[in-house]
Amino acid sequence: MNKNQPKDMDKKRRLFEAAARLFAEKGFEKTTVDEIAEAAEVAKGTVYYHFKGKEELFLFLVEEGMAILMRRIAATLKNGMDCRVSLKKLIQVQLEFFAEYWDVCRIVLAEAWGTSTRQEKLQELLNEYYAIVGRIMEQGIRERVIRPQDKEVLCTALFGMTVLVALHFLQKSGPVDWARIEEQLETLFFRGVVIDTGNGKLL
Amino acid sequence: MNKNQPKDMDKKRRLFEAAARLFAEKGFEKTTVDEIAEAAEVAKGTVYYHFKGKEELFLFLVEEGMAILMRRIAATLKNGMDCRVSLKKLIQVQLEFFAEYWDVCRIVLAEAWGTSTRQEKLQELLNEYYAIVGRIMEQGIRERVIRPQDKEVLCTALFGMTVLVALHFLQKSGPVDWARIEEQLETLFFRGVVIDTGNGKLL
Amino acid sequence: MNKNQPKDMDKKRRLFEAAARLFAEKGFEKTTVDEIAEAAEVAKGTVYYHFKGKEELFLFLVEEGMAILMRRIAATLKNGMDCRVSLKKLIQVQLEFFAEYWDVCRIVLAEAWGTSTRQEKLQELLNEYYAIVGRIMEQGIRERVIRPQDKEVLCTALFGMTVLVALHFLQKSGPVDWARIEEQLETLFFRGVVIDTGNGKLL
Amino acid sequence: MNKNQPKDMDKKRRLFEAAARLFAEKGFEKTTVDEIAEAAEVAKGTVYYHFKGKEELFLFLVEEGMAILMRRIAATLKNGMDCRVSLKKLIQVQLEFFAEYWDVCRIVLAEAWGTSTRQEKLQELLNEYYAIVGRIMEQGIRERVIRPQDKEVLCTALFGMTVLVALHFLQKSGPVDWARIEEQLETLFFRGVVIDTGNGKLL
DNA sequence: CATGAATGAGATTTCATTCAT
DNA sequence: CATGAATGAAATCTCATTCAT
């Protein structure tokens, strides 16, 4: 038995990847355990050997994904950083993550909006994320760099624009110019869409 | 023969309303046809008399919802309107719609991110919406009111921030101060988060 | 209201024809009342206006068909006819009938072999037919023209060969040379397949 | 681990046997999957574990049945056999098979006359059978033992008489004298019904 | 470690028939 | 005469989970 053949390679990882792809493509409910096992090229029983059930596999998936995002954010943000730099880097890290973990991202978007246990868990994970971003916003407002506004609006708006833009471009086939998108999102989030007339009036 | 008695009210409509409520409350998959029939106070067979199946009922729902949004947008935007006013009203109509048709929106949001046939239909509807918003952006850019940027980024970003903010607040129980949210989104989208220092530099 | 338009023409007859075609194509159970009504271009309720139910429509169909066959046979056979002529004419009439009422014929073949009420009724009709043919055979045996054999075997064998041959050629597309088939069946039934060696031995 | 206990006996085989019995007793449509599962002493889900659905179970059944008939025919016919012996044995094997597999035969007979996909499969199997019989007829005609006639007429006529006679007697309750029927069918097929007058004239 | 046959609760769907108009 | 919306009993099928090997 050659343990180095792809077939022998970590069945748990294969399950993880197959599940991520399928949940993203068809949603949690429409994806069957049979399909996951088949896509991962393991027997159905193996799913239940590694995970307590479909639900646990799902949570494992999402938690892993969010943990990765969190680690990346933590690695990027330094104490004492200018909040504008923090936000700039945050957008950058987010776009990178969304592009790399497209599947996890779609899963979160698709499954976060109900009231089941699973969905509450997702909300929790999102809230953890909002907490981090919220602290940056607070700092900015304290330092009078950011317009004093409702933190929750700012966090969810930033997340919403970033994630939907990323998803939109990933759904289209063809190469994506991430640098350009990042720059435009940054400008949009920092300065808005309206060209400054210099007279302080928007309209 | 009083056609206005609740019991005489079009059973199809009753089904529509029951389904919208239940799908939003519990999601498409978790809602059973039995429940829909019971909530609509019709026999189970009646669901299949009016709709080819659960799936078709769902699509009917989503199309109706999007049609309502489109009609509201069309009724609000006038030719020759300043594009800033148009955008302002767009945000307003969207938030209103999200709040009023939370249930349908949640369905759309939860089902729009995959790649199956059902989801393609939703993508199509979203693209129609983007087309309308895109025209406003183009006008603004032409009139040098809006910073020249990628239309697609602007449209999806606007939709993303609006929808995720709305969803976030609707998820939390308790009353929502929509006027405040609307104002903040407007400010954010028009002027960005960074306080203008007057010297033209962001950082 | 022009009563002469095809659409207004005898709805009962239209139902009859649609049902015959559909029962023959798909069998009794697989054919739905909706389909019959649609094919006949009448409302579903109309089926129940003219017939007590699906079962009755079926029986009406088969009885009509068998009655036609019986009438044709009665019109062809004369008292005092040579039994060989009778049998010749019987084969002829049968082939004609099978070709003309292919549908009814397929229905009988497909639905006669169970134990439900419907199928017992069919058996009854077949037995009426066998009775007539049986009388010819009896006469032939009495007159020492026909080899004395079990009447039931002779009747069912004659019916079996005629109906399956007819069906086989009707199922193939393209024109059928009925005269040739009739002649061959006659030879086969009268003289068998083996060429007479004149020495009285078959083998 | 005694594999020979009835309970250990392949559940797929138990399903097969239960289905064959029930389909023949009550017909395909009237037999429910619940009944089949109950008769086979397995859970309903087990039916769907082994077969894609009721339809597939049915086809599996018919194919098995036809395969048995084909094997029996192949085992009986030897190369170089006199074609009269071949035909004699063919009738014998067919009658034996019809008597033994009455249930499967009834299914085939009841379902073979339509034009749907299911029925096309049956037509295919019948054509295979006709091909074998056809070769015997050809041989006989070449050897001037069989009256030169349309092969198709001979094959379908032989099948038709055999099957309808068998069915007729199986339908009646009570014991059947198969030897007598076989002998009569043989005489009929070989020599026809008319007593040879020696003068070469039929009429 | 891993398997896959087996399960059964519960879902979706079908369809002959009824009935008010 | 004819309709077609409505019904509900009964059917088919799905699928997460278990468990003996």
pLDDT tens over chain C, length 203 residues: 444 444 556 889 999 999 999 999 888 999 999 999 999 999 999 999 999 999 999 999 999 999 999 999 999 999 889 999 999 999 999 999 999 998 998 888 888 887 788 888 888 999 999 999 999 999 999 999 999 999 999 999 999 999 999 989 988 888 999 999 999 999 999 998 888 666 555 55
Last residue of a domain, one of C12, C27, C51: C51
Q: How far apart are CA D40 and CA D142, in angstroms?
A: 51
DSSP conformational letter for D8? G
Which residue approaches F2 most closely, CA to C1'? C46
The whole-number Å distance from A35's CA to E4's C1' is 14
| A13 C-beta less than 7 Å away from strand F | no
Q: How far apart are CA C54 and CA A153, in angstroms?
A: 64
The nucleotide minimizing the C1' distance to residue A45's CA is E3
For residue D155, what are its two tokens?
């094959």
Look at residue A194 and give its three-state secondary structure: strand
* Residue A148 identity: P
A6 has pLDDT over 60: no
The pLDDT of residue A150:
94
* B23 shares its domain with B92: no
Residue A199: inside a domain, yes or no?
Answer: no
Confidence of residue B4 (pLDDT cuts 50, 70, 90): very low
Q: How far apart are CA A122 and CA B110, in angstroms?
A: 13
Contacts C–D by Cβ distance under 8 A: 181
Give the residue carrying structure tokens 């189970």.
Answer: B44
* D129-155: pLDDT as tens digits: 899 999 999 999 999 999 999 999 999
Residue D202: inside a domain, yes or no?
Answer: no
**Helices and strands in chain B, H and E counts:** 9, 0
| A78 C-beta less than 7 Å away from strand F | no
| D33 C-beta less than 7 Å away from strand F | yes
Distances (CA, A) of C103 to C37, C98, C100: 18, 8, 8
Residue C201: inside a domain, yes or no?
Answer: no
- List chain B residues with CB under 8 Å of A202: 84, 190-191
For residue A148, what are its two tokens?
């004093």
D5 has pLDDT over 50: no
* A145 shares its domain with A71: yes
The nucleotide minimizing the C1' distance to residue B10's CA is F5
**What's the CATH number where D21 sits?**
1.10.10.60
Residue C7: inside a domain, yes or no?
Answer: yes
Q: The domain containing residue D116 runs over which residues? A: 58-191
* B147-197: pLDDT as tens digits: 999 999 999 999 999 999 998 998 888 899 999 999 999 999 999 888 866
Which residue approaches E12 most closely, CA to C1'? B33
Provide the percentage of residues in chain A whose pLDDT is more than 90. 70
Q: How far apart are CA B162 and CA A97, in angstroms?
A: 22
What is the rounded average pLDDT of the residues D43-55? 95
Number of domains chain D contains: 2
The pLDDT of residue D10:
87
* D abuts C (3+ Cβ pairs < 8 Å): yes
| B45 C-beta less than 7 Å away from strand F | yes
DSSP conformational letter for A7? G
| D42 C-beta less than 7 Å away from strand E | yes
* Residue B28 identity: F
**What's the CATH number where B179 sits?**
1.10.357.10
Look at residue B194 and give its three-state secondary structure: strand
CB C193 within 8 A of CB D154: yes
The torsion angles phi and psi of A4, rounded to 5 degrees, stand at -95, -5
Q: Which of C178, C151, C147 is closest to C165 using CA atoms?
A: C178
| A32 C-beta less than 7 Å away from strand F | yes
Give the residue carrying structure tokens 């029962």.
Answer: C23
* C74-102: pLDDT as tens digits: 999 998 899 999 999 999 999 999 999 98
> Cβ of A114 and B106 within 8 Å?
yes
Look at residue A111 and give its three-state secondary structure: helix
Residue D64: inside a domain, yes or no?
Answer: yes
* D34 shares its domain with D88: no
Residue C198: inside a domain, yes or no?
Answer: no
Query: Strands (DSSP E) along B23-175, which ranges?
Result: none
Q: How far apart are CA C29 and CA C133, in angstroms?
A: 31
Q: How far apart are CA A157 and CA B189, in angstroms?
A: 10
The shortest C-alpha distance from C73 to chain D (Å) reads 20
Contacts of A88 (CB under 8 A, 6+ apart): A186
Look at D100 and D116; give whichever has higher pLDDT. D100
* B73 shares its domain with B39: no
* A141 shares its domain with A43: no
Look at residue C146 and give its three-state secondary structure: strand
Residue A203: inside a domain, yes or no?
Answer: no
* D102 shares its domain with D45: no
Q: Which residue does chain B place closest to A83, by CA atoms? A: B203
* D69 shares its domain with D168: yes
Q: Residues C5, C10, C12, C14: is their CA dihedral positive or negative?
A: negative
Q: Which residue does chain A place closest to B201, by CA atoms? A: A191
The nucleotide minimizing the C1' distance to residue B57's CA is E12
* A44 shares its domain with A63: no
CB atoms within 10 A of CB C90: 21
Q: Helix D178-191 vs helix D83-100: angle between axes, to the nearest 10 degrees?
A: 140
Residue A201: inside a domain, yes or no?
Answer: no
* D90 shares its domain with D178: yes
* A67 shares its domain with A167: yes
* B92 shares its domain with B156: yes
Q: How far apart are CA A98 and CA A112, in angstroms?
A: 16
The pLDDT of residue C4:
44
CB D129 within 8 A of CB D69: yes
Give the residue carrying structure tokens 């940056």.
Answer: A136
CB B150 within 8 A of CB B162: no
CB B61 within 8 A of CB B20: yes
* A91 shares its domain with A175: yes
For residue D35, what are its two tokens?
């009944």
B74 burial via Cβ count (<10 Å: 0-12, 13-18, 19+): exposed
Contacts of D51 (CB under 8 A, 6+ apart): D15, D57, D60
The whole-number Å distance from A54's CA to F20's C1' is 22
Q: Which residue does chain A place closest to B130, by CA atoms? A: A168
For residue C83, what are its two tokens?
């039994």
